[in-house]
Structure 1
């Protein structure tokens, strides 16, 4: 059972770069005495990916999680919008429709969920806005991080059509017409309408480095809290890195970046190019 004071490593969206990223996770686990790892979703789909690269990456993730869990480490994996497309058997951005079954089976094996807690922060893929919470959580305007996490996972566990539709609703920031949900909310939408009083850690929106934003309370509307964005592994269409490959260390109320330099690793730009040269480009 997770505790708020566990030394926790939070890892952003992997998008089939498991081979590269898990090595960096292992380095952090070894050097920082990490007790728990939380992944922020989107284990699938990357520019120019194919059947081979998809299945190889997911096989590697499943094997890594199984090994670490056997060693006694707690591993939590939250669900991303790309992952949801496979579970729903619905095409989306980058979805390999011929791999619905294989990807869905891998995600079931991993035990994905919608939300978890790291330290005193709610962790979801894209974040929970006030408007979405008011519409779907039915918590009477009193938001507690444990209650919110429990209700989100209960929606996932019920597996009803209305629950799934609510979880994956997309707002204008991501080309939708609904209230942005916890699998699709854009960074801008979370900035504009954060869930009051709840610290949140999310992936989904690519950032150059770990981005911590303090919600102002002086406006009389918000309650002071922080939003932490950690999707730093993203690539552009031409496979140029967007972020610096940093991860997030959480212990109690403390959150701080874990950089390549602090781990003594090659910069993400160098490591990702070497990985692409051997693991991606030859198969295009």
Structure 2
């Protein structure tokens, strides 16, 4: 039987300028039985900016206590409470606490909804000047150099525009690693302090951006990187690569798929051409 009284509300908060808050945010904060906040002090400042006074209980909910707090909040929702979850900026669960609570509510067959609001991902895409018809969000890159290099190597042929978050003290080394993995001329945009007083968007090749960032960059940062251009290889060369992989022990189907992805050729055309070449 589905619970109909309790509700989890994921409430997006402004990424900088409090005037960007959705009108519903104030309404939800005022009526909630419980407001779970990543930082209760920042929540109180936001409430002051919005001119709203929460009537319910305010509790802390962040990465260090969410495992312990989640069952408590689920129990409150199951008992009929309206729980509003807010993080420091943006949408809860998107590179912020919240995903654990969402899945727990779904597992308990509890209702949830969200209050939409400002998005650093979408705003950075819009102002980057890079293609936005297809994109992917990759969150924060790994902190360790080796893991970061492997992550970027795996994304080197990603055709969609990519969006990352990064901390200011790591942005220079991250841009350098991107230039090494994606190529120094791959286009990118570093968007910092979006919607704030010192908003800035720096566009250019990744190597140029890495040089710019070497002197230090401050603020909240979103990085947008152009996807890889398709590489269309000569069919005869691609067929030779397929047959070489088959000779090394791969199945023809798998070898054709791998070379097709790397070359930009049709997998079926490549497979049929390889079959014909083996028959001659």
TM-score by length of 1: 0.31
Q: Which has the higher helix share?
A: 2
Between the two structures, name the one with larger relative contact order (CA 8 Å, sep ≥ 6).
Answer: 1
